[in-house]
Structure 1
């Protein structure tokens, strides 16, 4: 299969200043735990006709961890979701500013997630909300969302700084500097 049209296969991956090793390891551990919990639940249901429904709480918390760490890794590696077709119609200077605007929007949305997620965690802690299956404090599960949103914001800020330093950063293959 030719890889002429696939930008993922044809471009080199940007190297973030801070290595992604810890994020990748934690994401892999969370994904492995999620798979083991699900496998255990399926085997138990098949052999005993009994479901470990309470494991759903752990599964949801692990899915949030995997999702947020994946967003962090994608942000650092310039793999954020964006509409490149529209940006590619812009002149080179417009492409550069579209990249800056998209990164600022990413930072803004995850800062909003930090603030609102922090409020949810505080409310769950203050009102002593417990999880329905295990009766554990719900804020323990919810805390992963705002904490890992901080990691995504840090990665987005690092990406933005790198883009501004090079004056054309991650879009260097597509545009010329001013």
Structure 2
């Protein structure tokens, strides 16, 4: 018997007010759309020697959506990338402080993405920037950046509240993988 968790079994979601299944379903739908768009382009190119140039436009937008949805899931589930070696060397209070500082840094970073992404969307709207493949307004694609960054901030704030309310220190062991 091993004391380590089975890597094939997904870790249990943390107790959150807004279910993580929202982001999971949206991410799965975006990945499925990405696969179908790419498959359609490959089949069309193979059968007709003609590539649908606009598929790259949709693919890039969907990759940004999947990335930000994944960031929200990782933040809420406390699975974001971190260097646990140094935090593991700290006493329990220091580990908790490191967790709070890291979460605050996440909130600040995604706050910058909201601010700068909103400015970018406004500039693209104001200057009527169009996408290269379809000629659609570019701001439609770019709007996902500040909107989903706000969702990540919400997940980070929820995580911060859970850390501050918890009596336990963060359970990260520098020896065991997350």
Q: Calculate the TM-score normalised by the size of structure 1.
A: 0.89
- Quote how far apart the aligned CAs of 1:26 are: 1.0
Residue in 1 that maps onto 2:39: 39
Aligned-pair Cα RMSD in Å = 2.3
Question: Where in structure 1 are there 5+ consecutive unaligned residues?
Answer: none
Residue in 1 that maps onto 2:24: 24
Q: Distance in 2 between matches of 1:147 and 1:155?
A: 13
The secondary structure found in structure 1 opposite 2:107 is: helix
Alignment length, in residue pairs? 173
1:132 and 2:132 equivalent? yes
Write the deviation string for residues 121-176 of structure 1: whole angstroms up to 9, x where unpaired.
0000000000011000000000000000000000000000011011436x1476xx
Residue in 2 that maps onto 1:61: 61
Question: Where in structure 2 are there 5+ consecutive unaligned residues?
Answer: 174-178
Q: Distance in 1 between matches of 2:109 and 2:9?
A: 29
Please identify runs of 4+ aligned residues in structure 1 that moved more than 4 A. 5-13
In structure 2, do the counterparts of structure 1 residues 7 and 137 end up closer, same or farther at CA, with 3 Å as the change threshold?
same
Q: Calculate the TM-score normalised by the size of structure 2.
A: 0.89
- Quote how far apart the aligned CAs of 1:8 are: 9.5
- Quote how far apart the aligned CAs of 1:17 are: 2.5
Residue in 2 that maps onto 1:107: 107
